[in-house]
Amino acid sequence: MRLVAFGAALIAALVGTPAFAADGVLPPTPLPPQGWSFTGCYIGANVGAGWANSSFSWTNITESSNAFSTGAATALPQAADASLDRAGFIGGGQVGCNYQPGWLVVGIEGDFDYMKANVGRNAMSLGNTNGGLNTIVPGNISESFSTDWLSTVRARVGIASGAWFYYATAGLAVAQASFFDQLCFPTAGTPTCNTASSSGTHEGWAAGAGIEWKLAPAWSTKLEFLYADLGNTSYNSVATIATTAGGAANYPDATITHVHSIDETIIRIGVNYQFVWGAQ
């Protein structure tokens, strides 16, 4: 009788253990709380799609005998002002840490992603031979924008429900971007060109939302949306005579201020490995 009682007690104890429930041998029982906890630090990878956009605006165009001809301040922006955008692949990695006191989860995450986007356009401003004012000749316009990577450092705050984590996120965004602007008057009595470019890092903010789901205590997958506003950048170009060696500024008053905004939108999926210290 004692052996039977001992066996019955052992079976009852095994039925109540998470291991048997997880293997599906016996009716499932909930995992212990630490099984679904998002508390801890993690490392992961992500892939997705990104859309890079930049608006081009030409301003501060002076009309005078030492600058641009009459009508340029209207005709040039009409042809040059535009929005350039391009979609492409995005992929990289992320690291972060979370703390989960009950249903609330707070954390911080940093990521770095390759994001290649390169787009350009050509246009022609109106002049005396293509329907514009007879005071100005047509201008050939060339513009381009490219970006190679995007990095963010963001806070994450949300609600955990079992294996699910629904969160909002916001923080700092940094991206590399390059710009090119050119205006040439090849048919003018004295052909000139305005050429300028810029390349470097740009800082702004990023915000978005996501859903993360635990596949196992240490593994999770996520779907995330982010929008990054990287502010504006501007620089000036000066008219030079195209045939002049060395590109001297022959018309120093014929300047253009080129203003560019930058924003990026990404949708990505990712996988994280969480270091679940102390979990059984």
Domain ranges for the chain: 31-275
Look at residues 52, 51, 46 and name the one whose alpha carbon lies nearest to residue 92: 46
59 vs 61: CA distance, rounded Å: 6
Look at residues 32, 44, 156, 46 and name the one whose alpha carbon lies nearest to residue 98: 156
Q: Residues 137-184: pLDDT tens digits?
A: 999 999 999 999 999 999 999 999 999 999 999 999 999 999 999 999
pLDDT of 32 reads 40
pLDDT grade, residue 75 (50/70/90)? Answer: very high
258 vs 261: CA distance, rounded Å: 10
Question: Minimum mean pLDDT among 19-23, 43-47, 189-193, 258-262: which range?
Answer: 19-23
1 vs 103: CA distance, rounded Å: 47
Select from 3.40.50.300, 2.40.160.20, 2.40.110.10, 4.10.780.10 the CATH code of 31-275: 2.40.160.20
Name the percent of the chain in helix, strand, coil, to the closest 5: 10, 65, 25
135 vs 140: CA distance, rounded Å: 16
1 vs 144: CA distance, rounded Å: 88
